[in-house]
Amino acid sequence: MTHTAARRAPRGELDLVLTPDMSLEVAELLLAGVKAEAVARGLSLAAVVVDRGGNTVASMRMDGAQLGAGSLALDKAVTAASFGFPTAAWATSSAPGGSDWGLAHTLGGRAIVFPGGVPVFAQTNLIGALGVSGAASEVDDACAVIAVQAQGFDSVPEQAS
């Protein structure tokens, strides 16, 4: 799998930023990773992979997963892609009185401020995000991180290299 850094178009053409984005192939591998981890833990989960713009690339809801898990997984993925940080980053700061209080009301009410959504970085480029739902949020988060790292990607910007 080849990852390229953001680059600019050659002179003489429009000055466009060319940036890697989520592919269906990568999205399907991420979903397979979530499924494998869920099966190993005896869970039924839903997962959604979005591109850099928060558009769904691929999704799944395992047999027996909660009916609302797919919608929640999508919102987790959109939040992670929109801000470039795992949704767990706001678990404390978005509480009443916290520095990010009110964050949950952003993104048209779709922002999620608890674990389970992680951005996907290829080298230092944000290419999309993965949201997982259906178990305790910390378990959802662990399954997402394992799936991302298994494909050689990073899930937090500080680790992106």
Q: Which amino acid is at 150?
A: A
Model confidence over 96-144: pLDDT tens digits? 888 888 888 888 888 999 999 999 999 899 999 999 999 999 999 999 9
Please name the fold of domain 20-159: Beta-Lactamase (3.30.450)
Cα gap 40→34, rounded to integer Å: 10
Alpha-helical segments (H) within 68-161: 69-83, 137-150
Q: How far is CA 128 from the centre of its chain?
A: 6
Q: Is residue 104 within 8 Å of residue 25, measured between CB atoms?
A: no
* Number of CB atoms found within 10 A of residue 132's CB: 34
- What pLDDT score was predicted for residue 11? 65
Query: What's the confidence (pLDDT) of residue 4?
Result: 46
pLDDT digits (tens, 9 = 90+) for 2-30: 344 556 656 666 778 888 999 999 999 99
